[in-house]
Amino acid sequence: MCLPKRWKKSKICPVVKPSEEKVEDAYKYRIIRLINVGGKFLEKLLIKRIMHHLYSKNLMNSNQNGFTLQKSTTGATLAVKEYIENVFRRGHITKLICLDV
């Protein structure tokens, strides 16, 4: 698929993170990327089609929380907590590795 060049262009707007007094450091900014309306529409359309395909073919893992309707990091955190509590109740040891990708 070939997209028009203007759909690929975006404006980058740096926004200061809340409660940051000194704004000289780059890490104190959150970057907001504003893309063209046509590009945004196409992006939403593709996401809806891909998600429909994944759900209709039952290809989504039940543990998938990101980019999933009616699931959140809170639910994932509670599932991990419940798992660890069950392991401890049985007298076993568990390890947890967290990645922020």
Between 20 and 68, the more confident residue is 68
Helix (H) or strand (E) holding 13: strand 10-16
What are residue 90's phi and psi, to 5 degrees? -85, -5
Between 7 and 51, the more confident residue is 51
Q: pLDDT digits over 28-45, tens only?
A: 788 888 888 888 888 889
Tell me what the mean pLDDT of segment 13-19 comes to: 83
Which residues have C-beta within 8 Å of that of residue 11, sequence separation ≥ 6? Answer: 33, 34
Give me the residue spans of the domains in the chain. 1-60, 63-101
Query: What confidence score (pLDDT) does residue 1 get?
Result: 64
